[in-house]
Structure 1
Amino acid sequence: MTSHSDSRSRVLVMGGGLAGTLAAAAVASHCDEVVIVERHTLPDTPVPRRGLPQARHAHMLWSGGADAIEDLLPGTLGLWLDAGAHRIPLPSGMLSYSPCGWYRRWHEPRYAVDDLYLIGASRDLIDWGVRTRLQADPRIRILTAEPLRLLGDRTRITGAVVQHGPGRQERLHADLVIDAMGRSSRATGWLGDIGVPAIPETTLDAGVTYASRRYKAPAGASGDWPAVTIQPDARIPVPGTAGSIIPIEGGTWQVALCGTRGGEPTGDPERFEEYARHMRHSLVADFLAAAEPDSPVSLTRDTASRHRHYGKIRMPAGFLAIGDAATALNPLYGHGMSVAALGARGLRDVASAMGGITGPRFTRRAQREMGRPAAAAWRLAAGQDTFFTGTRGRRPTLADRVSRAYTHRLIRTAASNFTVAEALTRVMSLQAGAGVLAHPRVLLGAIRGPLLPPLTGPPLTAEEDAVKQSPSISNLRCS
């Protein structure tokens, strides 16, 4: 075992995924060196990498998260767009079927909202853009090694032991260690090994299974094709089903289908479009009938929401957890990447406000600030997940039922009230907290209720309707 120590200040980030790279960007200006420890070699191009099987699934990067990334690493958004990503305006660029019917798209210029959007891109492209901007900083280096355990005691973490290969271990000393190892992080066990009390954990599991597949966009589907989402309705006492189409780079669509416990999709490619056909609305299936599959079906079941309550015990100084290592969210709502980005920006802001990363109360304050966006996203997810048939973890409380009743009132009103629609979109895109839903104008809109009759079908443009009505690929092949 070798040892490495010097007088330079160092931050050690365990995990080279999106949360880890953004955390590195957040602290780089407050230390001499940031070392990202990642088990697998990270690619230099936007291609799949080992250790990230979820990259094969659809990812939503909401504007709240994209803005945070651009703030941390200016120029990243331009890299994505130049490489073929889509900046999809909201709400005009989304076809969304809510539990209360179709949202209007508010195409008129007077309803344009410049700061609300969705990035349509593969996870490989998103991660590559962040890594590319990050590696321009000479203070940051990526070390291919496997973290083995933490150094320090129950009062302060002083680094970690990493392994480069059989019998080749190294002690990396650091002023701050950040756990960004995701859902599979072993840091809670390592903390226990040095005397830190067990970290309380809350789990909420709706039993969601995800099936994802890429399709070649059909002829007639232009570059400004909308995102499509069919949302589940937890009020119905049957398993929830949902689906989405996200246009990504390369003229392709990333398609995701999901179902809660008892209504899960399978990995059978022959049943992929059949499952889409039997969701609450068939629009996703209608569009897929005109497109051509471009990948196998990828399946995942590890989707439970898990929250580690680091703030409930006295944690050692010098340790933080970010992203899924702290709060892993049900991917149904597409908030994971955005929460990690907002958490990293919160980390940077605390370091700036406190004049560095080594103050006596820095890690406690930083963990609390990093946890704010995660807590907001958790409440959004739990407010629905608790009502699905077969959810494990906890049952709905009276407060949950009151909140759900108000939320559904807002959703129903939003279909014909732009003020309410914009407020809901700001919350969903993590551009604002749930407090905006209590604004007097929003409350008044909820009291008044819908101003227009509900839409009888999806608000398609002529181009979108032509694609929907076009002959299916399968019929053309058989003719």
Structure 2
Amino acid sequence: MTQSSPPRHAVVIGGSMAGLLAAAVLAEHATVTIIDADTLPDSPAPRRGLPQARHVHVMWSGGARAIEDILPGITEDWTAAGAIRRSLPTDLVTKTAEGWIPRFAEMQFNISCSRDLLDSVVRARVTALDGVSTLQRSRVRGVEGTAARITGVRVDTPEEEGRLVPADLVVDASGRGSRARSWLQELGVSGIRRAEVDSGLVYATRIFEAPDGAHASGFPIVNVQSDPRVPVPGQTATIVPIENGQWQATLSGTRGGQPTGDPDAFIPFAKGIRDPIVGELLEGRKPLTDVAVTQGTANRRIYFEKVDLPDGFFAVGDSVATFNPLYGQGMTVAAQGLLAVRALLRAKGLAHPAFGREAQRAIAPQVATAWDLATSQDILYPGATGMKPRAGAGLLNSYVSRLMTGATTRQALTAAFLQVITMSSAPTHWLRPSVVWRVLRASERGALKAPPLTAAERTVAGLDQRSDPADPVGGAR
């Protein structure tokens, strides 16, 4: 670690996942103050500043590995708290746009639990680090400094309005509602470009009591995705087994096909999409919550890396880019970006001139990859607004569609599909010669015709017994 200057102080605006991970990375080099408008819970509990926590959140293996690198042992901490480590695609029953994915032996994994539990475990680890403190129930009014250098933040705390908190580095991790762009513009930083792609997506979530024996038997995640190639609103339904013997069920729909908060319409919506399996599984289950609905899920990106940022500042997480939550990219993008920041810190130190600008550029590749994946699909839905796909996007989409067709029948292409979807590799992985060769020979011959639930799973779920497709679990091919 390079540290040639006196002790330094960093301020992180926002105590959600991105902010906590930023604090963990910075704690190697500085004292850190996390500032948040909420009271941060000591246990898994909802908070006002994270309303999207009510919906399904799945931590992909690419993100879990990155966070494990930052906070060794975190995966064990999650599972000890009640989270479930699921093998992919073994513990996944999913219908992609091209069809059902066979349940081969583990290729990747995810962590299944509520977002409140996910955050609380990370929060406990980070706030226990030496030199990390929190300033809660406090709202940042703005950044202090000039267009050349940020020197701190101005904060309204419960005890004092307009308190100055000096800092050698300010990290904005305040999320979708970030005001950093306006703050920087007020200091004279111009040309900060913003882009948006909005499919009009609405999310609706309800938690149900899982059937007796479902958790003990390792009941899989069940998911039916939409097909953006068909010119109708994209609708999805997902069940994720979470802690405390519960099923978290999330529905989504793009413009013209959104779910509502009507509890009587929840299961009919799930049964009315491309396959009714999620609705059938929920039928007769005891609901434990009302229906939570979230709108305003547009993909938005601020190109901070394209401007001459002041020294002593960078942004991370949803402050930089928000993605359609359907793809589960946000936490992983933040974690992988902060690994790049950590490498920069260890190589050059916090005192390095223009560190903030270099950190922002180090984050950009992860953001750009996720942005291209999300927006290239979302812009295809009826009524979607925003920037149009780049030239050649249609050809690339056709190739990916063929790859996903192959993933429904061939183990090697299932592995390639999951390698990128779980953000364990960049999409360029799909262009490796060995993958291209298999994609060119991809076929849907032998694809599963029905959800690959086992007979035991169907019994646990209380589904009427019916003929299972040949090889329902999907053996290696």
Q: TM-score range by the shorter chain?
A: over 0.9
Query: In structure 2, what is the equivalent of residue 476 of structure 1?
Result: none
Q: Is the 8 Å Cα contact of residues 241 and 257 (structure 1) preserved in structure 2? A: yes
What code does the residue aligned with 1:54 have?
Answer: Q
Task: Pick from 365, 371, 390 the counterpart of residue 364 of structure 2.
Answer: 371
Shift, 1:35, TM fit: 0.5
Deviations 1:76-129 (A, max 9, x none): 21121011110010111111101111111114xxxx43xx11110101100100
Question: What secondary structure sits across from 1:258 in the alignment?
Answer: strand
Contact conserved, 1:409 with 1:446, CA < 8 A, in 2?
A: yes
Q: Does 1:237 align with 2:236?
A: no
Aligned residue runs from structure 1 range 126-141, under 5 A: 126-141=118-133
- Would the aligned equivalents of 2:305 and 2:364 in 1 still touch at CA under 8 Å? no
8 Å contact kept, 1:414–1:450: no
Where do 5+ consecutive residues of structure 2 fail to align?
Answer: 466-477
1:214-243 Cα deviation digits (max 9, x unpaired): 111112413322111111101111111011
Work out which of the residue numbers 204, 215, 235 in structure 1 matches 2:208.
215
The match for 1:30 is 29
SS of the equivalent of 2:157 reads: strand
2:94 aligned partner: 96
Taking only aligned residues, the RMSD between alpha carbons, in angstroms, comes to 1.7
Could you say which residue in structure 1 is the equivalent of 2:473?
Answer: none
Distance 2:16 2:285 in 1: 32
- Distance, in Å, in 2 between the alignment partners of 1:302 and 1:399 is 29
Q: Is 1:421–2:420 an aligned residue pair? A: no
Q: Percent identity?
A: 40
- Give the equivalent residue in structure 2 for 1:318: 312
Q: What whole-Å deviation, never above 9, does each CA across 1:264-301 have from its counterpart, x for those lacking one?
A: 00000010001001111111111111422111100011
The CA distance in 2 between the partners of 1:7 and 1:396, in whole Å, is 48
CA distance in 2 between partners of 1:317 and 1:238 (Å): 47
Aligned CA distance change for structure 1 residues 166 and 198 (closer, same or farther; 3 Å): farther
Judging by fraction of residues, say which structure has more helix: 1
Structure 1 segments, 4+ long, off by >2 Å, are 165-169, 394-398, 467-472
Q: How many angstroms does 1:471 deviate by? A: 6.9
Could you say which residue in structure 2 is the equivalent of 1:86?
A: 84
Shift in CA distance, 162/465, structure 1 to aligned 2, threshold 3 Å: same
2:403 is aligned to: 410
Indicate the residue corresponding to 2:68 in structure 1: 70
In structure 2, what is the equivalent of residue 10 of structure 1?
9
What SS does the aligned partner of 1:422 have? helix
Q: How far apart are the structure 1 equivalents of 2:449 and 2:185?
A: 57
Deviation at 1:314, TM superposition (A): 1.1
Query: Hey, what's the Cα distance between the residues in 1 that align with 2:354 and 2:443?
Result: 49
Residue by residue over 1:301-326, the C-alpha shift from the partner in whole angstroms, topping out at 9 and shown as x without a partner, is: 11000010012211111110000000
TM-score, reference length from structure 1: 0.93
| Shift in alpha-carbon separation, 1:74–1:99, aligned structure 2, 3 A | same
- For 1:395 and 1:326, locate their aligned partners in 2 and report how far apart those are by CA, in whole Å: 20
SS class of match (2:326): helix
Question: How far apart, CA to CA, are the structure 2 residues paired with 1:445 and 1:465?
Answer: 33
Please say if 1:251 is aligned against 2:254: no
- Preserved CA contact (<8 Å) 1:416 1:452: yes
Cα separation, 2, equivalents of 1:470 and 1:184: 43
Which among 221, 242, 267 is matched to residue 261 of structure 2? 267
Is 1:21 aligned to 2:20, yes or no? yes
Q: Deviations over 1:185-240 (max 9, x none)?
A: 11111111111114100100010000011111112413322111111101111111
Change (3 A) 1:198 1:395: closer
Equivalent residues of 2:312, 2:354 under 8 A apart:
no
1:12-39 alpha-carbon deviations (Å, 9 max, x no partner): 00111111011000111012x1000111
Tell me how many residue pairs correspond in the alignment.
459
